[in-house]
Structure 1
Amino acid sequence: MEDVKANRIKGKRFHMTSAWSTFFVWIVICAIMAVLSPYFLSVKNFLSIAQYSAITGALAVGMTIVIVGGGIDISVGSVVTLVGMVLAAIMPASGSVPLMIIAALAIGVACGLANGLLVTKLNIVPFVVTLGTMEIFKGLAFLTTRGVNTPFNNLDFAAIGRGYSFGQIPNSFIIMLCMIVVGAFLLKMTPFGKKIFAVGSNATASKLAGINIKKIKLSTYIICGICAAIAGLISTSQNSAGLTNSGDGAELNAIAGAVLGGASLAGGSGSMVGTLIGVLLLNTITNGLNLLGVSSYWQLVAQGAILVFAVIVDSFKHKS
């Protein structure tokens, strides 16, 4: 158990340092973009960054929890797509926003439960499991509407992703911040959160300490599925449509945001504040490149490079 405590202390120091480093990089990027594009510093532009950070942020909350527990989930992008396609299919018949929310959350729970059971009951490597379910969930999404983008019109539902509260603050950003707060409380202030850190730090020692490892891991995947469903709700609301490509690449951005914020792919370290900063950094770069008229192809190169950089930093941390 002493090894677990030592690893947790080391992990806390790392993700705090990494979070501050990422914050500094974010400030530098903002300064550079402000020089290159005067419009960048406008209130409207920052509100746009906040609004479109919500999807990646919602995904990154669940991803952080899974990563801290020593797992990974690359199926979340497909969950976003599945939620969007299902909601678009049932929206015309229902039109009930509460029903849409319940349906989305049910899909998230089901997908998270499927991933968690495959990982814990069959002891399959999480990357392999979620790689397979990524294709399964995407296939189910396409079957729902036969692979056709499905627009709809519901102003109440659109307010979730495109509406504003307290003046000009996007509802989607408020939802993401609430998720960050709940995630931070869960990880830092509850016995369950402490067990997630312990399992991610040293599963063997955690088992000897009486922690039900399988139950903890299963719970992290269910939470991740719920977060992906909320991201799907926001995405579908912003687009007022179920789009076949709505979740493409979203899992990579979520992983990059979490790792940039201090979450270790080896498990046992991470923070929601760091994840928030990492997500804002990613979306600030994307926003700045859009303002500068940089090709979307080069933006993909930049996003991939950021992810590789984050993984390299995490790798060096474990070698030291």
Structure 2
Amino acid sequence: MDRVPRWLAERTGTTLPLTAVTKGTLVSFVTWLDQVKEAAPASFDRRITGVTVTARRPPYGIEVPKEATKAAREALKRLKADRERLARGRGQAVPATPAHLRAMVTASAEMPRAEGPQRRWKAYVLPDLAVYRNRALSLIAFSIAGRAAEVSVLDLPDIVLVDAGLEVHVPEVKGRPARDVEVAYGEHPETCPVLNWLAYKGAAEEGGLGETGPAFRAVDQWGHLGTSPAIVAQLAEVARRVQDGVPPKLKARVFTATADLAALAGWVSLPRWSPPHWLSPGYWSRSSRSV
């Protein structure tokens, strides 16, 4: 939240506190998103809501006046009418389906030579440990409707094997409350999150996984298990590494921050599913646009 006050200070010579969430600062926030960040207008409304919600929560505890949010959204209307601005951004994440996940986890482990003079000069095959990790990661992310940031902070004690499958504790991330999600065995072994987690964990234990620490860890091209967690950027790389098994429109866009949320919401919002059974994994409300 401090980037906008710094930008305003450069323009006006006056430094405002973070608690100055007013009509003027929210309209300036829209201007900053448009002129400095050059963000897509479709994301502005969500960002405005994020600022107001954060301001109301501890440690700020600020009451944001309704006229401030109204003025910010009025300023946004003009930007949404501009076709050039609407073309910004990568667009909405394409939701993955179980069929897509099956194609991903059964894709070849060979990584082809990348384009460009600074890239590696030959293709190589992903080590088994990296393949097991990628499969378990993608399937558990789907099963818990996990945002990339949530999956990347999972620790080993957060994933517990029980008779019915797995119990996954998703920690609090970016102000979203923590939640516990039950993950059942899958109908198909190749896309079963429980079996793939056990396969990855068993292989990782041989490489020194231990009892604590990040659940999904970095693996180098020689198959050595690291100690650092697989960061959000590496989660996105999972989709790119299995391009042969993913439809063109889905490539490199499966593991955006909310794609697994959209995936689960789109797949289970069919007549045979009752909302109470699947709202909790992604911490949705009934009024969520994903639902």
The higher radius of gyration belongs to 2
* Larger proportion of helix: 1
Q: TM-score, normalised by structure 2?
A: 0.27
Q: TM-score, normalised by structure 1?
A: 0.25
